[in-house]
Structures are given as structure tokens and as C-alpha cells.
Amino acid sequence: DVKVTQSSRYLVKRTGEKVFLECVQDMDHENMFWYRQDPGLGLRLIYFSYDVKMKEKGDIPEGYSVSREKKERFSLILESASTNQTSMYLCASRRAVRSEAFFGQGTRLTVV
């Protein structure tokens, strides 16, 4: 079974802190994604990576950056956390030649 693991289920951070959300997949997938989920807005793509050190902005990249130094790990970075970044964050991965994406269990981030 494919496993996508996010480092935390719940996280509370202070405004202005630098926050790292980590995601690891164990199936050698080329593509990895970070989505943000908010009530009434569905899932919105923040960034995705189609290979090591390759990244592309999604629909809402402002205030975020990403890092992919190894194929299995994709990190989302909030450079200076703000209260409007309080949300559920979902990581996903996918093999480039197949359609199905697999998701992590989500990280609920609260910025106070």
C-alpha cells in the first residue's frame, strides 16, 4: 500500500513564526502536491513538484515556499506565519504516468 505521511496532525504556531510542514511518501512517486482545505472553498493547490528540486506554483502560493531535496520528501514552508494561514493542509503524491493521487492524513494548523 502507498503511504503518504505528514509529520503532524495538529500544529499550533504563533504569528510571525517560520513553520515547516513535512510530507514523506514511500512509493517513489515523481509528483508531490500541497493543498490547502478551507470550508466552502474545497482544496486549493499551493505548490507542486514534479521531480527533485523542481517545483511549480499552484493557485495560491503567496506566503508559502516549498523544498524538495529528496524524491520522497516535500516540505511546505510558511516563512512568517499569519492568522489567515490557519487551515487544513493536505499533501498528496502521484506516479507521473498514472492518474491516481494518494493523500496524507492532513495537518490542521492554527496560527495564533
Partner 1 sequence: AQTVTQSQPEMSVQEAETVTLSCTYDTSESNYYLFWYKQPPSRQMILVIRQEAYKQQNATENRFSVNFQKAAKSFSLKISDSQLGDTAMYFCAFMRPGANSKLTFGKGITLSVRP
Q: Binders of partner 1: how many residues, by CB under 8 A?
A: 25
CB nearer to partner 1: pick between 34 and 81: 34
Give the DSSP per-residue string, 62-80. Answer: TTEEEEEEETTEEEEEESS
- Nearest CA among 7, 9, 22, 33 for reference residue 78: 22
Nearest distance from C-beta of residue 16 to partner 1, angstroms: 27
CB nearer to partner 1: pick between 42 and 83: 42
Q: Is 41 in the site for partner 1 (CB under 8 A)?
A: yes
CB nearer to partner 1: pick between 18 and 44: 44
| Cross-strand partners of 37 | 43, 88
Cα 25 to chain centroid distance, Å, stands at: 12
CB nearer to partner 1: pick between 15 and 105: 105
Q: Is 100 in the site for partner 1 (CB under 8 A)?
A: yes
Exposed, middle or buried, 56 (CB in 10 Å: 0-12/13-18/19+)?
exposed
Q: Is 103 in the site for partner 1 (CB under 8 A)?
A: yes
Q: Is 105 in the site for partner 1 (CB under 8 A)?
A: yes
| Cross-strand partners of 36 | 44, 89
Report the first-to-last Cα separation within the chain, whole angstroms: 37
Which residues form the interface with partner 1 (CB under 8 A)?
Answer: 30-31, 33, 35, 40-45, 48, 50, 56, 58, 88, 90, 92, 96-97, 99-101, 103, 105-106
